[in-house]
């Protein structure tokens, strides 16, 4: 099952890249829904599952600390890897390199998404499926951002397609990597808390602001609430 989800993330990323090239006028609604879905997974699935797996081994304060660490790690990755160019200082070559750095960091994030899917399936099929749903939404956004980084910084469509393919393959590689190791339940619970922090940052600090940027806020807000509600209902129906 995990490998099938990994293949699905491949196509989700490609679809995001295609939308970035063809359908940008509708992206705010999709990103709004994705933001709600990713935040919903962190609140309603990853955090409760982490608490359940670590019960009796780690105090709740340890889980919350790991959650915060995950949030801060992703914040630092976003701020220091996804650099913004100063074109008047760097020139064309500098802009192209900056675009490639941004696209490359997104590929690393996508690999970690795949690891998260694989580890979630080690807990249960239900947990794996819910995490996969959030990752699919995130990878769609990654496809958008990968193409956006390259084109914005004068990399050209051919280079954009190349990086899009790399980003699409990254989560599948992450899923496959988890076939070669496993974690005890209590440590796996801490890893889920770490990924919960990742998802909180992705949803609240990345997808949500991007969905609201220069677009009608009522429609995107409704889509965000819908995304959260869908995840909430799906989790409760599953468990």
Written as one string, the DSSP assignment of 173-194 is HHHHHGGG----HHHHHHHHHH
What is the mean predicted confidence (pLDDT) over 98-106?
61
**235: which 2 tokens?**
């989790």
- pLDDT 10s digits, 22-68: 766 666 777 787 788 878 888 988 898 899 889 989 999 999 999 99
- pLDDT 10s digits, 103-148: 666 677 678 778 888 888 888 887 788 778 777 876 777 777 677 6
- As a whole number of angstroms, the distance between CA 18 and CA 37 comes to 21
CB environment 40-61: b (16+ within 10 A), e (fewer): bbbbbbbbebbbebbeeebeee
Residues spanned by the domain of 8: 2-238
Res. 72: pLDDT tops 90: yes
CB under 8 Å to 32, separation ≥6 — which residues?
207, 208, 211, 212, 219, 220, 221, 222, 223, 224, 227
Structurally, the chain folds into a number of domains equal to 1
Q: How confident is the model at residue 84 (pLDDT cuts 50, 70, 90)?
A: very low
Which pLDDT score is estimated for 96? 58
**198: which 2 tokens?**
């990742």
Which pLDDT score is estimated for 97? 60
* Neighbouring C-beta atoms of residue 113, cutoff 10 Å: 29
- pLDDT 10s digits, 156-188: 677 778 888 888 898 899 899 988 887 787 888
């Amino acid at each position: 099952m995990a490998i099938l989800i990994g293949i699905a993330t491949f196509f989700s990323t490609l679809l995001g890249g295609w939308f970035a090239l063809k359908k940008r006028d509708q992206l705010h609604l999709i990103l709004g829904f994705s933001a709600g879905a990713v935040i919903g997974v962190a609140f309603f699935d990853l955090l409760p599952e982490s608490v359940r797996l670590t019960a009796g081994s780690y105090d709740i304060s340890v889980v919350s600390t790991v959650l915060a660490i995950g949030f801060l790690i992703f914040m630092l990755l976003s701020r220091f890897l996804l650099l913004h160019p100063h074109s008047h200082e760097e020139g064309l070559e500098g802009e192209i390199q900056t675009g490639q750095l941004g696209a490359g960091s997104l590929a690393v994030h996508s690999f970690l998404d795949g690891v998260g899917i694989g580890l979630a399936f080690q807990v249960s099929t239900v947990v794996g499926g819910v995490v996969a749903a959030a990752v699919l939404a995130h990878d769609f956004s990654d496809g958008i951002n990968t193409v956006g980084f390259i084109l914005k910084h004068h990399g050209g469509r051919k280079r954009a397609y190349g990086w899009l393919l790399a980003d699409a393959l990254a989560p599948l590689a992450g899923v496959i990597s988890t076939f070669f190791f496993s974690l005890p339940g209590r440590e796996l619970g801490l890893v889920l808390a770490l990924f919960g922090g990742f998802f909180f940052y992705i949803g609240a600090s990345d997808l949500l602001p991007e969905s609201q940027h220069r677009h009608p806020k009522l429609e995107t807000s409704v889509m965000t609430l819908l995304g959260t509600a869908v995840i909430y209902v799906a989790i409760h129906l599953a468990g």
